[in-house]
Structure 1
Amino acid sequence: MADPTTYRPAPGTIPTDPGVYKFRDKHGRVIYVGKAKSLRSRLTSYFADIASLHPRTRQMVTTAASVEWTVVGTEVEALQLEYNWIKEFDPRFNVRYRDDKTYPMLAVTLNEEYPRLFVYRGPRRRGVRYFGPYAHAWAIRETVDLLTRVFPARTCSTGVFKRHRQIDRPCLLGYIDKCSAPCIGRVSAQEHREIVDDFCDFLAGRTDLMIKRLEREMSTSAEQLDFERAARLRDDVGAMRRAMEKQAVVLGDGTDADVIAMVGDQLEMSVQVFHVRDGRVRGQRGWVVERSDDDSAGEQVGQFLTQFYGAQVDLDATVEIDDDRVRGESIPREVLVGDLPADHEELQDWLSELRGSRVSLRVPQRGDKKALFETVTRNAGEALAQHKLRRAGDLTTRSAALTEIQEALGLDQAPLRIECIDISHVQGTDVVASLVVFEDGLPRKSDYRHYSIREAAGEGRSDDVASIAEVTRRRFLRHRADQAPDDSGPTDPTTAESPSTGGSSATAAGVGGDRGAASSVAVIDEADTNPRPGIDPTTGRPRRFAYPPNLFVVDGGAPQVHAAAAVLDELGITDVSIVGLAKRLEEVWVPGEDDPVILPRTSEALFLLQRVRDEAHRFAITFHRSKRSKRMTESVLDGVPGLGHTRRTALVTHFGSVARLREATLEDISEVPGIGIATARAVRAALGGGEQ
């Protein structure tokens, strides 16, 4: 445990200006980011008596090894810079308002020639407009089913759309007039886009004008004795009204507002947001997060608004739709909260700047808005109670598992960062390895790595011990290189590893972020401009492997453990504990011990080690299958006339496997860049297929 007085800035050196500060640990990682009206007043509070600090704050200041700050001109700039740094560095001690579940949304693919409506879960994609989130997917399908009668837009997948275009016959929805059937040319691309635009306008809340327009057209058709069209318009108006009735009117004056309520205790806090558009609840979201420190309710509201609306604007920027109305859907005209932060005027100005028009931030005092806020507060309280019932054992279990591992292995501290490696091959061919990382008992997939083994020994068989030694050497040579002050990187060619996201696209480049706001401010701490071990001088961020794990786990028994331990001894690394987990009896092997450590079958420590080992095995198997599939595809295609290495690589990349390539038609194969129809025929012949 570090002593905060060892890195406390000298008295009088901290400015009294507004600014943003960050704490770093001994490895250079940013572990906390905050903002303050007066940097001196705020930072001095962290160096008071440790016993008087909130437990989480106390843990943060004793984990940190340095503090630095940046002065800004206004508090609005501080808000923006704080959000950018939290997004860029992902500090472990900052409260991150991430959803505890994936909410379904209604997606409209405006980036396609014929836009499509469908239910979607997951990250937002460019060129797609989203409505929601909704509490249930069935609510979206029910709404779409009602509205496609009025707005017959396409809802089919790309495959179905292409198939019906080929057979020149619409699907069932086209026959019952719930789709305008653009697949067979019943409407043009422009006409179909106009239908989709009207659909989006309706869901965005511009309903009254649309209903009035349809009613006028209905009256005109009746006067012209076109009773069939008038009846159809009447049914359309009825369908639109039924869709609107499913969204309860909570604010009769057609208010656009977000109602935000927070309920918490000493450890956790529940946040609920109701999105009200045109007086109706259009969506609802909720979070349960750990409380960071003793911040007041107003300060917690300010932190949430900064992160929530900053992220919303970032998501809107990926949509690539040049429409100010879309931005207005993310940031409403009113934000209703339970407590105002001290800098609420600056926060209000910042929100107004993001929206492009005035935003009101206030506490509801009376009437319908007060009643709705009380409803949202009750929802937040119920969500917190349900979370505690559902997750009561989760945090306790993880803490207990880490403590048990510490006690069973005689470690100096609980292994907050665990890394595990596993080898995968088939009879010594296509040998690969994986490295997975768990922090605080949870996987950190952005730090996962793949390795292609180039030093595996043996003829016709695999030498797992040599592979374990190679991967261990490459991982810790990278650690030693990343700790160096310069950015030269490793010189040994065996140290190059393949970064892999494990489901995240941020691995190789680190967590992205807009640092434009930081470039216009003055840096007070001059040490920030000097090279520091483990810090990339070009980005100012810690290198991924500049800090070692507390526990290094290898998949195997005594030989594998001894091989990894010998590598660490060779490199002079003494602050990493190594164990091996053997699959047969789940023994835990420790270097230098003749007998393994036997953990009880019901032990939470054993369960966590098994999770780490199984994740490494899964990750290695996935990479091995991919590599083997590409090799098999290339070997099958050897000798095909006109097909060299470049074209084989293009085919492998395009189709991914031999099975998919065998199923491809001549037309599909000839669509690959560089592959003509003659070469496609040769490929089909090599794979045992005829012309299609």
Structure 2
Amino acid sequence: MTPEEKLQHLPDKPGVYLFRDTAGEIIYVGKAVSLKNRVRSYYQSGSRLSPKVRALMNRAADFEYIVTDNEVEALILESNLIKEHRPRYNIYLKDDKSYPYLRVTLGEDFPRVHVTRRVVKDGSRYFGPYTSAGAVHETLDLLRRLFPFRTCKQKLAEGVMSARHRPCLNFHIGRCLAPCSGQVGREEYRAMIREICLFLEGRQDDLVKELTRRMNEAADKLEFERAARLRDQLQAVRQVLENQKVLSTSKEDRDVVALAQNHDLSLVMIFFVRGGKLIGRDQFLVLGAENTPEEVLTAFVKQYYVRADFIPGEILLAEMDPQERPAIEEWLSGIRGARVRLVVPRRGEKKQLVDLAAKNALLALQEVEQEQKSRGQGRDACAELARELGLENIPYRIECFDISNTQGEESVASMVVFEEGRPAPGQYRRFKIRTVSGPNDFASLKEVLTRRFTRAREERELIQTGQLSTRQAKFYQLPNLVIVDGGKGQLSAVRKVMKELGFAHIPAFGLAKEEELLFAEGRSEPIRLPRDSRALHLLQHLRDEAHRFAVTYHRQLRTRRNLKSLLDEIEGIGPVRRRALLKAFPSLEEMARATVEELAAVPGMNRAAALAVYRFLRG
């Protein structure tokens, strides 16, 4: 049946419609109160359609529809289909599947709190999503300061713990209740976990009341140590609350949503206001061509709140499609279990809140645009480098290797990675030289490149056979270009390894420090890049970063060696205790700041040995 024939038989009922292109791919999903009226509106005269709809209909070859019982069911189905198919002409949140969450493992007797990017139905509670990994880790660090929950991965169950099990250092510094050693019961521990959930929900006033109640209850039972711990925790929570900005005289919980737009890129800013105080904010890039603010924010509400852990009673919006509002309110109210109001304020305090969110959205969008501009410059520098070096392909991933030592002692190497002309710190790797004695850069580079490419070959084979995931692998990604700090000798050592291991197809160059000359295999004359070229600046940045990373690691090992030598001088500290101390306190400063109790809590230590270390380091 042709689309024209289908139009004659469209039902006057609520449902979802899908447009497909000539290849059968779904390019748009929409919902309608009346499928008959809504779908027919797309087939009007082209002059009456918006640019976005004209572009859609120029590609649409066919459509289909699904009838639902009511508009809310259509809304839910539309949301699921957009998430599943990612149609070209729909608005959608960018990379929503990769956002981090905080997971509270309520399925365990003694739950943990940690970061995850996978949401599964396992009885845990998930808080998020957070668009910034930094923000989620800051929140986790704050929780660790406020609540002494366990961070270990032991499988603990009620009645299994033993009082003979020695608590770790976290217990002795007040960062864990040590359920592993029977220091706390299941109910008391889970009461603390409930308080963490209150905090993450933004219900800090309820949290203060709960902590106050538990503190008074402990005092009435003459459990003064527990009461004191709860008092300190209560003071810490109140201090956090004092630092939160009061945004509203109302004590209601609400979200404030606004956006900034530029061409086909939109950034939505959401403020989380709980009890009248701003407890946090988040931002989302929304992709979609030529959409109005009203369309973007309506789509955002439908996609964001379907996976949000907490939905407040009121959501303030800069814009909202008035025809969609009733159905979305009913849908969100059903998820929340209580009424949810979507409000577009035009004056007063609520309008000021929306304006403040919009101002922050504009600033955030400008940062994103600057970031994109920087990425574009990085890609341009990579393309220029390819032209200057005569490479067949643009080197979007470049690896640079550098060696650092002091007269051959504590020799280390760094592998620094730039992707699209920008540092990728998560891909950096460092090596402790194992097989080379003395200052020998050639042999050291040979060892490091052998280890690097051998690991790459092994990991790629394991990934192909399903024995290893790309997330677990550390060396499977191959560079488009290798740079070594040095001249012809260093380059020769590297090329020999790459040929032996089957990676000769990857181009490699040596970059000499003094004259910024590039040495290539098979070329007698070095390559001199123009002083003002972006390609040279890229290589200088890469080389300097590799040098910094190698020197930093070298200094860490040298400091560790010196600390090890110091510990050898302390009576009662043998190899086992020395290793345990170095693991617990990696630097001299950290160890010198430790109390006798903290030193004694290190595995293998006792009070006498701890006192000896304390007196030695404190003089």
Amino acid at match of 2:123: G
**Cα gap change, 1:394/1:65 in structure 2, threshold over 3 Å: closer, same or farther?**
farther
The residue aligned with 1:440 is none
**Cα gap change, 1:182/1:583 in structure 2, threshold over 3 Å: closer, same or farther?**
same
The residue aligned with 1:168 is 165
The residue aligned with 2:316 is 336
Is 1:358 equivalent to 2:332 in the alignment? no
The residue aligned with 1:369 is 350
**1:227-242 to 2 correspondence within 5 Å?**
232-242=229-239
Shift of 1:243: 2.7
Amino acid at match of 2:127: F
Structure 2 Cα separation of the partners of residues 248 and 115 of structure 1:
31
Is 1:66 equivalent to 2:46 in the alignment? no
Residues 407-455 of structure 1 show CA distances to partners (whole Å, capped at 9, x for unaligned) of xxxxxxxxxxxxxxxxxxxxxxxxxxxxxxxxxxxxxxxxxxxxxxxxx
The SS at the match of 2:92 is coil
The SS at the match of 2:306 is helix
Amino acid at match of 2:364: A
Structure 2 Cα separation of the partners of residues 227 and 191 of structure 1:
15
Structure 1 Cα separation of the partners of residues 353 and 314 of structure 2:
14
Structure 1 Cα separation of the partners of residues 178 and 247 of structure 2:
37
Conserved 8 A contact 1:146-1:243: no
* Among candidates 297, 303, 314, match of residue 301 of structure 1: 297
Shift of 1:371: 2.2
The residue aligned with 1:143 is 142
**1:380-399 to 2 correspondence within 5 Å?**
380-392=361-373
Shift of 1:370: 2.5
Structure 2 Cα separation of the partners of residues 209 and 368 of structure 1:
25
Conserved 8 A contact 2:163-2:182: no
Shift of 1:86: 1.7
The SS at the match of 2:335 is helix
Amino acid at match of 2:146: L
Structure 2 Cα separation of the partners of residues 251 and 9 of structure 1:
56
Is 1:124 equivalent to 2:104 in the alignment? no
Structure 1 Cα separation of the partners of residues 237 and 119 of structure 2:
27
The SS at the match of 1:201 is helix
The residue aligned with 2:26 is 30
Structure 2 Cα separation of the partners of residues 224 and 82 of structure 1:
56
Shift of 1:199: 2.9
Shift of 1:183: 0.9
Structure 1 Cα separation of the partners of residues 141 and 106 of structure 2:
22
Shift of 1:197: 2.2
The SS at the match of 2:260 is strand
The SS at the match of 1:239 is helix
Amino acid at match of 1:155: T
**Cα gap change, 1:267/1:143 in structure 2, threshold over 3 Å: closer, same or farther?**
same
* Among candidates 271, 276, 280, match of residue 274 of structure 1: 271
Shift of 1:40: 3.8
Conserved 8 A contact 2:203-2:274: no
**Cα gap change, 1:397/1:19 in structure 2, threshold over 3 Å: closer, same or farther?**
farther
Shift of 1:306: 1.8
Residues 96-155 of structure 1 show CA distances to partners (whole Å, capped at 9, x for unaligned) of 21347965543321122321123x14122333223345652453244223312xxx3212
The SS at the match of 1:85 is helix
**Cα gap change, 1:503/1:27 in structure 2, threshold over 3 Å: closer, same or farther?**
farther
Amino acid at match of 2:259: M
Conserved 8 A contact 1:18-1:71: yes
Residues 603-648 of structure 1 show CA distances to partners (whole Å, capped at 9, x for unaligned) of xxxxxxxxxxxxxxxxxxxxxxxxxxxxxxxxxxxxxxxxxxxxxx
Is 1:347 equivalent to 2:343 in the alignment? no
Shift of 1:159: 8.8
Quote the sequence identity (%): 38
**1:359-438 to 2 correspondence within 5 Å?**
359-392=340-373
Structure 1 Cα separation of the partners of residues 286 and 214 of structure 2:
52
**Cα gap change, 1:227/1:38 in structure 2, threshold over 3 Å: closer, same or farther?**
closer
**Cα gap change, 1:56/1:205 in structure 2, threshold over 3 Å: closer, same or farther?**
closer
Is 1:204 equivalent to 2:204 in the alignment? no
**Cα gap change, 1:390/1:501 in structure 2, threshold over 3 Å: closer, same or farther?**
farther
Shift of 1:351: 1.3
Structure 1 Cα separation of the partners of residues 155 and 220 of structure 2:
44
**Cα gap change, 1:500/1:54 in structure 2, threshold over 3 Å: closer, same or farther?**
farther
Conserved 8 A contact 1:147-1:243: no
Shift of 1:359: 0.8
The residue aligned with 1:628 is none
Residues 451-495 of structure 1 show CA distances to partners (whole Å, capped at 9, x for unaligned) of xxxxxxxxxxxxxxxxxxxxxxxxxxxxxxxxxxxxxxxxxxxxx
Structure 2 Cα separation of the partners of residues 204 and 155 of structure 1:
21
* Among candidates 65, 76, 82, match of residue 78 of structure 2: 82
Structure 2 Cα separation of the partners of residues 165 and 220 of structure 1:
27
**1:578-589 to 2 correspondence within 5 Å?**
none
Conserved 8 A contact 1:106-1:117: yes
Amino acid at match of 2:248: L
Conserved 8 A contact 2:89-2:288: no
Amino acid at match of 1:110: L
Structure 1 Cα separation of the partners of residues 361 and 190 of structure 2:
40
Shift of 1:241: 0.6
Structure 2 Cα separation of the partners of residues 293 and 100 of structure 1:
21
Amino acid at match of 1:344: R
Shift of 1:33: 0.6
Shift of 1:361: 1.1
**Cα gap change, 1:13/1:293 in structure 2, threshold over 3 Å: closer, same or farther?**
farther
Conserved 8 A contact 1:99-1:286: no
Shift of 1:377: 0.8
Structure 1 Cα separation of the partners of residues 288 and 333 of structure 2:
28
The residue aligned with 2:528 is none
Structure 1 Cα separation of the partners of residues 39 and 233 of structure 2:
62
The residue aligned with 1:46 is 42
Conserved 8 A contact 1:274-1:283: yes
Shift of 1:362: 0.9
Is 1:310 equivalent to 2:306 in the alignment? yes
Structure 1 Cα separation of the partners of residues 377 and 2 of structure 2:
32
What TM-score results when the alignment is normalised by the length of structure 2?
0.54
Shift of 1:71: 3.2
Amino acid at match of 2:305: Y
RMSD of aligned Cα (Å): 4.3
Conserved 8 A contact 1:19-1:78: yes
Conserved 8 A contact 1:146-1:240: no
**Residue segments in structure 1 that go unaligned for 5+ positions in a row:** 313-328, 399-496, 505-581, 586-692
The SS at the match of 1:287 is strand
Conserved 8 A contact 1:340-1:363: yes
Conserved 8 A contact 2:105-2:125: yes
**Cα gap change, 1:11/1:187 in structure 2, threshold over 3 Å: closer, same or farther?**
closer
Conserved 8 A contact 1:102-1:121: no
Is 1:191 equivalent to 2:172 in the alignment? no
Shift of 1:336: 1.0
Shift of 1:181: 0.7
Structure 2 Cα separation of the partners of residues 374 and 191 of structure 1:
44
The SS at the match of 1:27 is coil
Structure 2 Cα separation of the partners of residues 371 and 74 of structure 1:
36
Structure 1 Cα separation of the partners of residues 295 and 178 of structure 2:
53
Residues 8-39 of structure 1 show CA distances to partners (whole Å, capped at 9, x for unaligned) of 44664334443321011233222211122343
The SS at the match of 1:350 is helix
**Cα gap change, 1:40/1:501 in structure 2, threshold over 3 Å: closer, same or farther?**
farther
Structure 1 Cα separation of the partners of residues 175 and 45 of structure 2:
69
Structure 2 Cα separation of the partners of residues 39 and 391 of structure 1:
40
Conserved 8 A contact 1:288-1:387: no
The residue aligned with 2:256 is 259
The total of aligned residue pairs comes to 388
Conserved 8 A contact 1:302-1:347: no
**Residue segments in structure 2 that go unaligned for 5+ positions in a row:** 380-463, 472-503, 508-619
